[in-house]
Structure 1
């Protein structure tokens, strides 16, 4: 019983590690995505600001969302309403939670994966990797049908209030954060997670092939 609980805890830590790693890497990747999307979709036409100043404000926003010691959101060139500040505070909690999960789960997941490799049992990764690969595909399929509805549903699931419904007159920051930027972030997170699952899948297949070759001898 104790061994089963330990095994379950190890798998849970590994799953949480993969999910949080994809999320955190997406947060870091957004630093490259934002200026590209801002230029492609010409968001500065909605708010008179230089490209450099716009990116500076984006960095201020991301710093607030990810650094726990920054307690108040202050943007140099954008006013922030009370409801807008509340929504970003809610987002901050989710982002910091992702970082915490990553940092806490990483040692357990790495040790568990190392043990599997040391014991030559990489084949155990096959089924979890297959399931982990297929489930996001279903989610991505739903999102591709109507991303706007998916975006709304996502916010309704993760936020208990309506503060995410920004009024551009009070929170003009939303004017320079196009829907396509969020879509690309979702796509990046999806691709990163799928790559992790494919890696596990390939490692498992290599292990199975090796075991079959040994058995045939």
Structure 2
């Protein structure tokens, strides 16, 4: 009995960690086509750069943030202050942590779902998935009401300094990374998170149906 409870808790935590890390990973990958669209939608070329230059600098920034061997941060057209470099370094640590958690949680989940017992065990994810699915809805609602305050609160939660308050004079890259872009990234993350939860809920529902026959 105790062993079954522990296994169920382990499965739920592994799924949740994998879900959050997977959401971060999908959002980071999805940010590339999103930013390309933002260059045109938000008219970022008005700052004196071509769309190719902007996207090239974004790729350089993302390469630094996502690959541990890319050091230091260099963007061809944008200088970076000491405070700005420190903030991007903090972001890099969070991104690398997300990728590490995804790598650690994904193999166990893949092996589990390919095993013969997955139908019985995945049932345990059915109700927790519904509970977890409601949390982003609440957070998303709060963000929609006042994204500026949500953005500030988010940074206070994840960073212990004010280096994220970029000065366009010393860190001009912030002009081509407007708040609207980050708002759209949060929307993308919300969609990815909820989509993966829907898949989990559907699989849990089907498992419950099979077991009840």
* Corresponding position of 1:180: 180
1:87-136 Cα distance to aligned partner (Å, 9 max, x none): 00000000111100000111122233334754444332211110121111
Give the stretch that moved more between structures: 133-142 or 163-172: 133-142
Aligned pairs, number: 212
Give the Cα separation in 1 of the matches to 2:211 and 2:104. 33
Structure 1's consecutive aligned runs of 4 or more residues displaced over 6 angstroms after TM superposition are none
Give the Cα separation in 2 of the matches to 1:76 and 1:117. 53
* Corresponding position of 1:62: 62
| 1:190 counterpart = 2:190 | yes
| 1:82 counterpart = 2:111 | no
* Corresponding position of 1:108: 108
* Corresponding position of 2:31: 30
Give the Cα separation in 2 of the matches to 1:200 and 1:149. 32
Give the stretch that moved more between structures: 32-41 or 117-126: 117-126
Pairwise CA distance, 1:158: 0.2
Say if 1:44 and 1:50, in contact at 8 Å, map to a contact too.
yes
Normalised TM-score (structure 1)? 0.92
* Corresponding position of 1:208: 208
Give the Cα separation in 2 of the matches to 1:152 and 1:29. 23
Give the stretch that moved more between structures: 107-116 or 189-198: 107-116
Give the stretch that moved more between structures: 163-172 or 195-204: 195-204
Normalised TM-score (structure 2)? 0.93
Say if 1:20 and 1:101, in contact at 8 Å, map to a contact too.
yes
Say if 1:10 and 1:112, in contact at 8 Å, map to a contact too.
no
* Corresponding position of 2:21: 20
- Report the CA distance shift for 1:41/1:33 in structure 2 as closer, same or farther (over 3 A): same
Pairwise CA distance, 1:54: 1.0
Give the stretch that moved more between structures: 6-15 or 127-136: 6-15
Give the Cα separation in 2 of the matches to 1:116 and 1:187. 36
Give the stretch that moved more between structures: 198-207 or 184-193: 198-207
Say if 1:155 and 1:164, in contact at 8 Å, map to a contact too.
yes
Give the Cα separation in 2 of the matches to 1:86 and 1:129. 37
Say if 1:60 and 1:74, in contact at 8 Å, map to a contact too.
yes
Superposed CA RMSD: 1.6
Give the Cα separation in 2 of the matches to 1:202 and 1:3. 23
Pairwise CA distance, 1:164: 0.1
Q: Unmatched 5+ residue regions in structure 1? A: none
